[in-house]
Structure 1
Amino acid sequence: MPDISTTYMGLKLTSPIIAASSGLTNSLEDIKHLEKAGAGAVVLKSLFEEEIVTEMEHELNRMHSENYLYPETMEYYESFDVESTLSDYLKLINDCKKEVNIPVIASINCVTAHNWPSYARTLQDAGASAIELNIFSLPSDTEREAKDNEQVYFDAIKAVLKEVSIPVAVKISHYFSNMASMITRLSKTGIAGLVLFNRFYSPDIDVDNLEVIPTHIFSHEYEYTLPLRWVAITSNRVECDLAATTGIHTSRTIIKMILAGAHAVQLASTLYKNGVESIERFNFELDKWMQKHEFEKIDDFRGSLSQSKAMNPAGYLRIQFMKHYSQK
């Protein structure tokens, strides 16, 4: 029988399928359910930097209004209140360590490299198998240069790597002026993994009520082609593992990502749409596909259709529909 286990960031996974950070990974019972369904690992629902910062600002304002904002108070606040904000998250990690056998990856959604990365060590001490930094700042400032947006990533990585010894992954967006270069440079920072790509809140306009509303909460199957291209182009050329996410709704897409060079895939939307039990089916279908093609283990075919190994590497670089739209 084929072995569908794999390694990602040095972690042993019984399956290449990771439950991505979402509301489905926010409780011990849900995580145990994912483990039973066959997930190789879970990424906990993100702890948002903005939540920590907002609570800090609120508490500081309260202290100031009550006239007891003294140095001693600040020291107490710095050591306690943020810790209090993290307490539920830390308890979840600790409980998972006791009751779950698959790797549990803590997730921090961050937009700066301020003092909060010091709490990454707290996540490690609680028992997290790894940390995923979900970094993104929309490049919408017309006065800000690309290098300034990029530096946020390197600053955050440097700050966190100082604090922890467990593997660190970075989940990035596709908003870069030189994607291949950025992925390569990030892979050389000492991180263990890169996740391609973030999925964002997407605004829309309600023309009846004349207001801005959210749209496309879940991904669509056709969206997998974006991470597929960049996994294929950069795999075998970077110094860390790659995980693919966004638009992965079927076992065939999972197989495609591995053929392109991914060490693992992260699923969320399809689990909401089709249930957590679909992981078991995806694992079964992956197993059957490997039997059909006589692959004994994941590494027998991982990256075999990456750009560096494909018979037609130019296929990943083409950006114009020369054939399909050249005729009337």
Structure 2
Amino acid sequence: MAGSSGLTKSAEKIEALAKAGAGAIVLKSIFEEEIVFEHEDILKEAEAAGVHLEQFDYYDFHLKGKKLSEYTSLIQEAKAKVQVPVIASINCVYSHEWVAFARQLQDAGADAIELNMFFLPSDFSRSSQEQEHMYFAVIEKLTGAVSVPIALKISHYFSNLGQMIQRLSQSGVAGLVLFNRFFSPDIDIEKLAIKPSFVFSTPAELAMPLRWIGIMANKVSCDLIASTGIHDGEAVIKQLLAGAKAVQVASSLYKKGPEHIGTLLDTLRDWMGRHNYTSLSDFRGKMSQEASSNPAAYERVQFMKYFS
């Protein structure tokens, strides 16, 4: 799958990815906070000009509707150009807005919705239980609003990650994407300013989702999709062996272009041929914790053996 990124923000780019062999495409996310911040800026300007803010009820709806209209148009254009599933992506931070919009994404033709939801555990006024409850509250409302499958893209920032993944898998979502990546801050020591860093994933980041796909395979009630650190065909094979239903790639496509999907698929086909596999189901999960001859390896956290 082509993961959500700037490479999936136009119908032309989406068509190129499909032609290169992508089995499904997740559209560039529509950001709830972008809409909210834009609206807040307009309100501030209006207030400074002496406009009565109660007049903005209609404009509030209109502004958000315009952003949504642009996104639904992208869905429709993409669906007209490709035959593979087109998945709408929502980057949710405030949780309440998207329930009203979800049905419109579905009606525009989205085959599924990926909800990219993450609340950084830096709010000291909220307990971990309150933070976790927000995920289930949003999922409950969203699954009640649409009939298309919903995938939830999560982080590994949970106090009891295994249990949380299991509970989320039982919430009505069709899939869990492990894991999302975030803006990573860095410091410019000359300008004394915060700047972005580590925009693209690296192959080393494969380890975290690989561990948890392997641990949770066959212990959840939905599909598991691997994301982050998948840069070559070997990484695709590893995630499938661990138990992933599908894999998402993005950073490697930025670096090597849409045609890199073909390279990933060629590596997978060659490996399957050498091992006499005719379908993914022949080996999916073969190296999960449950099926492995060394299940403890997935839970080892110290380097004792490596350094001994």
User: Does the pair score TM above 0.5?
Assistant: yes
Q: Is the 8 A contact 1:130 1:167 kept in 2?
A: yes
What residue number does 2:26 align with? Answer: 43
Which deviations, in whole Å up to 9, do the C-alpha atoms of 1:92-146 show, x marking residues without a partner? 1011122210100000001232133210110000000000000011111233211
Q: What does residue range 126-165 of structure 1 map to in structure 2 within 5 Å?
A: 126-165=108-147
Higher relative contact order, chain-length normalized (CA < 8 Å, sep 6+): 1
CA contact under 8 A between 2:113 and 2:151: conserved in structure 1? yes
Partner of 2:54: 69
Q: How far 1:206 moved relative to its partner?
A: 2.0
Q: Which amino acid aligns with 1:311?
A: S
Matching residue within 2, 24, 29 for 2:12: 29
* Aligned sequence identity (%): 53
Partner residue, 2:273: 291
Q: Which of residues 248, 261, 275 is equivalent to 1:266?
A: 248
Question: How many angstroms apart in 1 are the aligned matches of 2:64 and 2:124?
Answer: 33
Contact 1:35 1:102 in 2 (8 A): yes
Maintained 8 Å contact 1:60/1:69: no
- Using structure 1 for the length normalisation, give the TM-score: 0.90
Q: What are the within-5 Å matches in structure 2 for residues 164-175 of structure 1?
A: 164-175=146-157
Structure 2 unaligned spans of 5+ = none
Match of 1:194 in 2: 176
CA RMSD of aligned residues (A): 1.5
Q: Which segment drifts farther, 113-122 or 213-222?
A: 113-122
Are 2:31 and 1:52 equivalent residues in the alignment?
no
Correspondent of 1:119 among 97, 101, 122: 101
- Alignment coverage as a number of residue pairs: 306
User: Aligned match of 1:235 in 217, 239, 243?
Assistant: 217
> 2 CA distance for matches of 1:310 and 1:137?
34
Q: What's the TM-score, normalizing by structure 2? A: 0.95
Shift of 1:149: 1.5
Amino acid of the structure 2 residue aligned with 1:54: F
- In the alignment, the residues of structure 2 paired with residue 19 and residue 94 of structure 1 have an alpha-carbon distance, to the nearest angstrom, of 18
Match of 1:247 among 224, 229, 242: 229
Q: What does residue 94 of structure 1 align with?
A: 76
Once the two structures are TM-superposed, the CA of residue 180 in structure 1 deviates from its matched residue by: 0.3
3-state secondary structure, aligned to 2:140: helix
Decide whether the 8 Å contact of 2:43 with 2:53 is kept in 1.
no
1:233 aligned counterpart, secondary structure:
helix
